[in-house]
Amino acid sequence: MSDLTLYLDLVSQPCRAVYVFAKANNIPFKHEEVLLFRGDQMAEDFGKVNPLRKVPSLKDGDFTMAESTAILQYLANKYKTPDHWYPSDLQKRARVDEYLAWQHTNTRPHAARVFWIKGMTPYLLGHEATPEHLNPALSEFNTTLKSIETKFLQDKPFFAGDEVSIADLVAIVEIMQPISAGVDVFEDKPKLSAWKHRVEEAIGADLFKEAHESIMRIKEMQSRPISPELKERLKARLAYFTR
């Protein structure tokens, strides 16, 4: 049995990136579910692993850490994964690091904002999102997608060159979040769509589907009862994205 435990909720974009990376590279790990919609992150035992109460989290023997991009880099280095994931070439690695630094204030929050406004408003408030809230979020996200095409992808097959990297993986799982809420992300974006298919093929179609199964069934999950306390926390999160 591996000493490595990954604490994940595959509804979360960063968790999916870590899960796919570990699976694609045959890294042995124990998968410990921490279901955010159920409030598992507030459990006392999980607080000992990550006092910030965020997923993904990693426990490797007595060593614990959080933050998905740092976890990906740790796994790549420890398990000496194929070089294309986190290249040893200085400039190629810099391209990967550049996207990983940029996405924290761009792809990830902008994709999450669309997901919450489009996908969670009906669940939490009982009505569809208003154009007043949704349209600015979609515009912001489309600007981000344009930047991915023109700045990071350009005319290359992948962000760092000819092979898939951690940067591509992180980007694709983020971009899938609005898709689960019913947004056609790739409409009129043939370059981005072709890149998506290359990433999916490089990862493996079955693994890609497995990792996204939970988020693509988000409406089914929303039919399950939740506690009033958790619902209020989720409403507060939605309010953050609509303010």
> DSSP string of 131-151?
HHHHHHHHHHHHHHHHHIIII
Q: What is the pTM of this model?
A: 0.94
* Residue from 101, 66, 72 nearest 164 by CA: 72
CA 109/CA 42 separation, integer angstroms: 22
Express each pLDDT in 176-230 by its tens digit: 999 999 999 999 999 999 999 999 999 999 999 999 998 888 777 677 777 788 8
The residues of the chain that CATH labels 1.20.1050.10 are 90-242
The third-level CATH classification (topology) of the domain covering 4-78 is: Glutaredoxin (3.40.30)
- Yes or no: say if 147 and 156 are a contact pair by the CB < 8 Å rule: no
CA 92/CA 144 separation, integer angstroms: 22
pLDDT of 1 over the 60 cut:
no
Express each pLDDT in 37-46 by its tens digit: 788 888 899 9
Amino acid at 162: D
| Cα separations in angstroms, 1 against 4, 28, 30, 53, 159 | 9, 8, 8, 25, 35
The residues of the chain that CATH labels 3.40.30.10 are 4-78
Express each pLDDT in 71-106 by its tens digit: 999 999 999 999 999 999 999 999 999 999 999 999
> Which CATH code is given to the segment(s) 90-242?
1.20.1050.10
